[in-house]
Homo-oligomer: A and B are copies of this chain.
Amino acid sequence: MTSTRRQRTGPRGGDTRGDILRAARESFGEKGYDTTSMRAVARAAGVDVALVSYYFGSKDQLFAATMELPVSPSELIDRAFDAGVDEAGPRLVDTFLRLWDDPETGPAFVALFRSAASHEPSREMFAESISTAIVNRYATHLPDHSTRRASLAASQLIGLAVLRYIMKLTPVVEMTRDELVADAGPTLQRYLTGPLTD
């Protein structure tokens, strides 16, 4: 095991796999799938291109690995519902914005979103992962298990993320997380438990 471990840590003795993933997320996010090469990712991560192949195989597989979220959404969602569905709205906004504000996880979400918006295979993966990991998870906590309520909630969250972290629209960038929670929390709450159309 020791020799495997030594090999896995790579020439710089750090988290080589993680370094490659970070470089890949950045490149897929900034330059898109087509213009990202294994070689360029290796260069950005400061490793030999053979190591990129060693850890991830093909560019497609590397890309799929970058789509794995750096946190478990289902765990975070469950926690937001801890105090009951009647208080989950503002808590979901807070949880969601914390992930995007966090310097560890935020850039990965930005890169994921950018890829999904511009590259069809990653759109499919992204839609599938929003659907199963987020919308369906919300729905399990709702009295009527409505994926429609859950999707409406997701639409408000993704809209905030788009304006704040992707398009960087001034008023939304300048608001504090607490202000956004206070303003958008009731929207989520209404979508989750309020009266809607049939």
Give the B-binding residues of A (Cβ under 8 A).
Answer: 30-32, 34-35, 113-118, 120, 123, 126-127, 130-131, 135, 147-148, 150-152, 154-160, 162-163, 166-172, 175, 179, 182-184, 186-187, 190-191, 196-197
Task: Output the nearest chain B residue to A178 by Cβ-Cβ distance.
Answer: B197
Q: A118: which B residues are within 8 A, CB to CB?
A: 32, 114-115, 117-118
Q: Is the CB of A158 within 8 A of B163?
A: yes
A79 CB, nearest partner CB in chain B, Å: 23
Q: How many copies of the chain does the oligomer comprise?
A: 2
Q: A179: which B residues are within 8 A, CB to CB?
A: 197
A-B pairs with beta carbons under 8 Å apart, 25 shown: A31-B34, A34-B34, A34-B35, A114-B118, A117-B118, A117-B162, A118-B118, A123-B168, A130-B163, A130-B169, A135-B171, A147-B171, A148-B171, A148-B175, A151-B169, A151-B171, A155-B160, A155-B184, A156-B187, A158-B162, A159-B159, A162-B162, A183-B191, A183-B196, A187-B190
Task: Output the nearest chain B residue to A113 by Cβ-Cβ distance.
Answer: B117
A135 CB, nearest partner CB in chain B, Å: 7
Task: Output the nearest chain B residue to A175 by Cβ-Cβ distance.
Answer: B148
Q: Is the CB of B182 within 8 A of A154?
A: no
Q: Given A156-B159, A157-B159, A163-B155, does the pair A197, B182 have CB atoms closer than 8 Å? A: yes
Interface centre among A31, A34, A148, A150, by most chain B C-beta atoms within 10 angstroms, is A148
Task: Please measure, in the bound complex, the distance between the C-alpha atom of A129 and the C-alpha atom of B3, giving whole angstroms.
Answer: 56
Q: A135: which B residues are within 8 A, CB to CB?
A: 169, 171
